[in-house]
Amino acid sequence: MPRRPSPVRPPGESTSLWHQGLSLGSKALQDTAPLKGFDAYVVGFHPARDDPSIQMEAHHYCRQVNDDFLQCVLFDGNTYEANLIGVEYIVSERFHDTLPEAERRYWHPHNYEVLGGSLVAPGLPEPAERALMAMLMNSYGKTWHTWHTGRLDTGPGDALPLGEPMLMWSFNRDGQCDPALEQHRNQAMDVDRTRKRDARSGLLDRAHPQEGVELLDEAFPDGTPIPGVVDRRTGR
């Protein structure tokens, strides 16, 4: 699988012998049960909800709790040195629609990421990836980034987690994601987005209108809608 290194190496001293000893002791004596099962790996892009010019490649490692709920830890790469940059919770449409109106403003729609081919599951055979994407159809994510480490195509960001967490969103039109950001990921990870779209065209008949699709339209007035991605409130 192609490797995506983190754009940032945090400052600090080299690992001490004491730290190495603690790590070895922990591995021998402690259980890391809560980390088991975070083995569904997908890569996509996140813009900040309130400042969508802030965009990042996000590597999700997810655990399926049940058919309606997934939990994901987010990294800025897929190597041992990758930095933990946030979390994402994913709920089914059924769960999302039970949330209070005030809460639903935090949850972004996923149909564009699936049908548009920007969300990928590296290493999975095409049929297995399609099955995973079918499960994500009509779902919603609540994503907080605690660290903006930058982009591999433009350079590093903050050396440490600074400021308040940022609520992130999803792209929902062609032309909203910075083409350079996506191209860099696609070339490095051998992603053919046109082929992904074609392979997922059979999911179109499952698509329901979703809330939040039009949220970034004002920031990206030249964005182009795609079939199957429709705002529930406006029908566009």
Q: Considering the domain boundaries, does residue 112 fall inside one?
A: yes
pLDDT greater than 60 at residue 1: yes
pLDDT value for 221:
97
pLDDT greater than 90 at residue 16: no
Q: Considering the domain boundaries, does residue 152 fall inside one?
A: yes
Q: Considering the domain boundaries, does residue 40 fall inside one?
A: yes
- What are the residues whose beta carbons fall under 8 Å from the beta carbon of 216, sequence distance 6 or more? 47, 52, 169, 171, 172, 173, 176, 223
Q: Provide the Cα torsion 130, 134, 140, 143; round to 10°.
A: -20
pLDDT value for 23:
58
Burial of 53 (C-beta count, 10 Å sphere; 0-12/13-18/19+): exposed
3-class SS at 70?
strand
pLDDT greater than 70 at residue 22: no
Read off the pLDDT of each residue in 208-217 and give the average, rounded to a whole number: 98
pLDDT greater than 80 at residue 17: no
172: domain range? 34-206
Q: Considering the domain boundaries, does residue 8 fall inside one?
A: no
pLDDT greater than 80 at residue 183: yes
Bridge partners of residue 69, in order along the sequence:
66, 91
Of 98, 118, 96, 100, the C-alpha closest to 109 is 96
Integer CA distances (angstroms), 42 to 119, 132, 208, 218, in order: 7, 10, 22, 28
pLDDT value for 12:
82
pLDDT value for 27:
58
User: pTM (2 decimals)?
Assistant: 0.92
Q: By mean pLDDT, which of 14-18, 65-69, 107-111, 212-216 is the weakest? A: 14-18
Of 181, 34, 73, the C-alpha closest to 118 is 181
Residue 106's pLDDT band (cuts 50, 70, 90): very high
Residue 29, by phi and psi: left (phi above 0), alpha (psi -120 to 50) or beta?
Answer: alpha
Average pLDDT, the chain: 93
- pLDDT tens track for 66-78: 999 999 999 999 9
30 vs 155 pLDDT, higher one: 155
- pLDDT tens track for 41-63: 999 999 999 999 999 999 999 99
pLDDT value for 19:
54
Q: Considering the domain boundaries, does residue 215 fall inside one?
A: no
Q: By mean pLDDT, which of 11-25, 40-54, 82-96 is the weakest? A: 11-25
Q: Considering the domain boundaries, does residue 4 fall inside one?
A: no
Q: Considering the domain boundaries, does residue 172 fall inside one?
A: yes
d(CA 80, CA 56): 19
Number of domains forming the structure of the chain: 1
Q: Considering the domain boundaries, does residue 9 fall inside one?
A: no
- pLDDT tens track for 127-177: 999 999 999 999 999 999 999 999 999 999 999 999 999 999 999 999 999
